[in-house]
Amino acid sequence: MGSVKPQILRHNFLKEITDHFSGERELGRGTFGVVYKGVLEDGQQIAVKVLKYKEGVDAEKFNRELTNLTTVKHPNIVQLVGFCNETERVPVEHNGNHVIASVMHMALCFEYMRNGSLSKHLSDDYEAFGWDKRYRVIKGICEGLKHLHMRQSPIYHLDLKPANILLDENMEPKIADFGLSWLHGEQGSDMIISDDVGTRGYVPPEYIDHKQISDKFDIFSLGIIILKIINGPAVYSRTGGMESDKYIEHVCNKWRERMNVGPGNKSLINKTCHQVKSCTEIALRCAAEDHIARPDIGYIVDKLNEVDKYQNHQSPYIEEVRPRTVKMIYFILYFIFDIQCASLMYVDTIFYS
């Protein structure tokens, strides 16, 4: 399983290592299927993604897209280690008669991340999830998304959320559940699809209104994720109706309180606040209502690199870059199965000096 080249795995083998796809082995559900934990004979664990059947998807198309997935290799993207693509003929009852039907089994197997998903680590607890870890996670997610978006054949995730960001033993983030949008249609620079994709709270307005998809779909989702990493999962309940510059100031002040360190650590506080401020500004731009106003992932990674470069040469947080145009941020809350999330976050266009 540790080989670089993904292995072909039989459906019966996957059933065996997942205890027949039992509920106890289920790790999560998403737009494209269900993920189970598979345990091999040697104790090694893998994540088995059983794909939902989609009309029009055949073995040939699966193999074509699989070839594309096998070329995706990046430290911040979960590695594909195996796959299943087989058709089984089984007896079924149809209109009172017993007939033989063809059932297609499709699954993708990925390396298993022992620290689980980012959603399990989002917290207001500074001690458990300090800023250095959060900043590293933010940068890692952005680097992984850049690799997907800036390939010769770009891959749009379409379901980017904390549950699909996995953390390895070193808390290094890895994007999971990627490269499956072909189950809904061919990707283009600006496509329209009829199927529902994404997760409520991370889906941009242009998709809700017009089913429109581009790379800016993922950028919107990224903005929401960054805000939750910075502020914790319940940020929305505390910051309704706040001007953007006031919001950024509010976030920085919260982090000063969280750090709760003495005067001797002023340099550390300044460094943290500069990073928090920069990441919050980026997140607000990513979550802009107008998809044209959202930056692309290359710009985002460049801005984060500038933050690091700036701090290596001088004391941070000396300059304060304020928006030329200050607009209002509105949050709409939804409660789904007792889980609080933001269904949509409208942010008017913000331009920075």
d(CA 333, CA 146): 30
Residue type at position 117: S
Q: Tell me which of 19, 125, 132, 159 is the catalytic residue.
A: 159
Catalytic residue check, 159: yes
Burial of 258 per CB tally in 10 Å (0-12, 13-18, 19+):
middle
Q: 19-56 burial by CB neighbour count: b if 16+ within 10 A, else e?
A: eebeeebebbebbbbbbbbbeeeeeeebbbbbbeebee
Beta strand spans in the chain (E): 7-8, 26-30, 33-39, 45-51, 80-94, 97-111, 165-167, 173-175, 191-192, 212-213, 242-243, 328-336, 339-347
- Looking at residue 263, what DSSP letter applies? G
d(CA 178, CA 188): 16
How many contiguous H segments (helices) and E segments (strands) does the chain have? 8, 13
The encoded tokens of residue 212 equal: 């429109």
d(CA 266, CA 304): 22
CA distances from residue 201 to 60, 144, 204, 237 in whole angstroms, order as listed: 34, 21, 8, 14
Residue found by looking up tokens 């289920």 in the block:
26
The encoded tokens of residue 318 equal: 């000396």
139 labelled ligand-binding:
no
Q: How far from the centroid of its chain's Cα atoms is residue 219's Cα? A: 10
Q: DSSP H helical segments within 33-130, as ranges?
A: 59-69
Active site residues: 159
Binding site residue list: 49
Binding site residue list for ATP: 49
